[in-house]
């Protein structure tokens, strides 16, 4: 039985991943902003077979609360060995361009809070000599684009941060999984027109759960994004700067 904390547990991708673990009988601790949504998800996961589901309501910008929440999770589940950091907002790029405060706020939500959590978790898992830390970054972090570079920069930060963390913890029995979803049809992307590149949260959740179980270092999901991003990353900057993307 795994003991898993899921941060940003009300996101569609996190919920789909949690269902995969619930079906395997694992114990889950859910962290999110909305008590009502957390409760609905917790009830569902219990019916689906989770051996225990507990939770805590928190705005993740409140960084000082993080150690206490991890303590609570460990106390509730009798320890922790897996973490999925899935929270985030799809930043309004125009608003971030107009206001430094908004830009910094978005960066705090999408990057700083996750790095703070990773740091706390890394030290705990290092001490116990085992654990899996999975962080949802994004293909948007592979290259900055004019249409969403604040979100992209935050995700690039997470990609670099988890890459380094993976090296640091490799010999300590702790696995770090960087997850880079492409387009996923979720409430966060409800306003977008959907095409053939779009994936369902269910298929993405399944892939994430498998990657966490196996300790896959970097997961592009769906898989073809690895190759799409390889091409996008290889375009010279002199050309890329002229492209509207």
Which residues contact other proteins (rule: CB under 8 A)? 40-41, 43-44, 47-48, 187
Which of 106, 75, 102, 93 lies closest to 3, judged by CA? 75
**Distance of alpha carbon 138 from alpha carbon 71, whole angstroms:** 28
> Measured from the CB atom, is 40 or 230 closer to other proteins?
40
| Residue 151, token pair as written in the block | 């979100």
Minimum CB–partner distance for residue 49 and other proteins (Å): 8
Minimum CB–partner distance for residue 47 and other proteins (Å): 4
Q: What is the dihedral of CA 58, 93, 232, 235, to 10 degrees?
A: -140
Minimum CB–partner distance for residue 201 and other proteins (Å): 10
Minimum CB–partner distance for residue 196 and other proteins (Å): 14
Which of 70, 82, 86 lies closest to 1, judged by CA? 82
**Contacts (Cβ under 8 Å, ≥6 apart) of 41:** 9, 10, 15, 18, 30
Strand order in the sheet with 82-85: 52-57, 27-32, 3-7, 82-85, 131-136, 174-181, 218-221
> Measured from the CB atom, is 41 or 133 closer to other proteins?
41
Minimum CB–partner distance for residue 26 and other proteins (Å): 16
> Measured from the CB atom, is 47 or 100 closer to other proteins?
47
> Measured from the CB atom, is 41 or 96 closer to other proteins?
41
> Measured from the CB atom, is 23 or 230 closer to other proteins?
23
Contact 179, 137 (CB under 8 A): yes
């Amino acid at each position: 039985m795994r003991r898993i904390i899921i941060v940003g547990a009300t996101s569609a991708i996190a919920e789909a991943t949690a269902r995969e673990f619930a079906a395997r009988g694992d114990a889950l601790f859910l962290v999110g902003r909305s008590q009502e949504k957390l409760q609905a998800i917790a009830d569902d996961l219990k019916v689906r077979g989770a051996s225990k589901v507990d939770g805590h309501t928190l705005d993740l910008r409140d960084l000082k609360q993080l150690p206490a929440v991890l303590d609570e999770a460990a106390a509730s589940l009798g320890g922790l060995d897996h973490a999925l950091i899935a929270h985030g907002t799809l930043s309004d790029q125009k608003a971030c361009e107009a206001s430094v405060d908004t830009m910094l706020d978005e960066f705090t939500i999408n990057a700083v809070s996750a790095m703070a959590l990773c740091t706390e978790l890394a030290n705990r898992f290092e001490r116990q000599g085992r654990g899996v830390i999975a962080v949802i970054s994004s293909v948007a972090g592979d290259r900055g684009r004019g249409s969403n570079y604040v979100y992209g920069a935050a995700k690039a930060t997470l990609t670099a941060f988890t890459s380094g963390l993976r090296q640091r913890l490799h010999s300590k029995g702790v696995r770090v999984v960087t997850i880079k979803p492409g387009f996923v049809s979720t409430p966060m992307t409800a306003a977008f027109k959907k095409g053939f590149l779009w994936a369902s949260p269910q298929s993405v959740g399944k892939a994430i759960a498998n990657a966490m179980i196996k300790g896959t270092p970097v997961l592009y999901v769906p898989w073809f994004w690895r190759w799409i991003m390889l091409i996008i990353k290889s375009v010279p900057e002199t050309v890329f700067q002229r492209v509207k993307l």
